[in-house]
Amino acid sequence: MQQKTKIAPSILSADFAQLGAEVAAIAAAGADYVHVDVMDGHFVPNITIGPGVLKALKPHAKIPFDVHLMIAPVDPFVAEFAAAGADIITFHPEAGAHPHRTVQLIKSLGKKAGVSLNPATSIDVLDYLLPDLDLVLVMSVNPGFGGQAFIPSALEKIAEIRRRIDKVSVAQNGRVIDLEVDGGINAETARQAVAAGADVLVAGTATFKGGPAAYAGNIAGLKT
């Protein structure tokens, strides 16, 4: 069953010179998650931050830290990000030989596990993973950079995954699995994504535009 819409601002669009204050500001403004994009310059064509920065940011917000690992291989780094303060750890199935083992590793560390699907990744990869997941992230842009335009075909993927999540939720007595979408989220695409079945919106530019005084309004606008 689709949940109330949650907003996960991507700190990739924050002021990196004031990152702790930015995280505190979005939490105070009504964000539900802090979305942390981790890129290695190998799996995706950009380099962002590592577990040390995550550890430094953790005290600045009490809301969950939603950590999206765009790194390969992923397994050797899962424990470090868990120890640094990740509450949800999401990875790409292409980033390791055994995605189910990666899910088990994340769960063994007491964290929620998510899988991220790139625009060209088939949803069939979820066939034997979904019952064990806490989150599915649909990429509505190709990962690596902020500010890209929303890919419309992501809406079909969201709708089909929503059907699959609802089926698993019924079978598991209403267990919640977040359906998150990331890339090109603005007022228009947020409405489209939620209508298709998404219940968590990753929003970088749309959250951080206008500076801290605008964050509450930006987040509230995306939720409605």
Closest by alpha carbon to 27, among 51, 2, 59, 50? 59
Binding site listing for substrate = 10, 68, 144-147, 182-184
Check 37, 40, 66, 134 and give the catalytic one: 37
User: Which of 110, 56, 52, 47 is closest to 82 using CA atoms?
Assistant: 110
Q: Note if 32 is an active site residue.
A: no
24's enclosing H/E stretch is helix 19-28
Where is the binding site, in residues?
10, 35, 37, 68, 144-147, 182-184
**Is 182 a known active-site residue?**
yes
Write down the catalytic residue from 32, 40, 178, 182: 182
**Beta strands 178-182 and 135-139: pairing type?**
parallel
Three-state SS at 64: coil
Helix (H) / strand (E) element for 102: namely: helix 99-108
- Annotated binding-site residues for a divalent metal cation read 35, 37, 68, 182
Q: Which residues are catalytic?
A: 37, 182
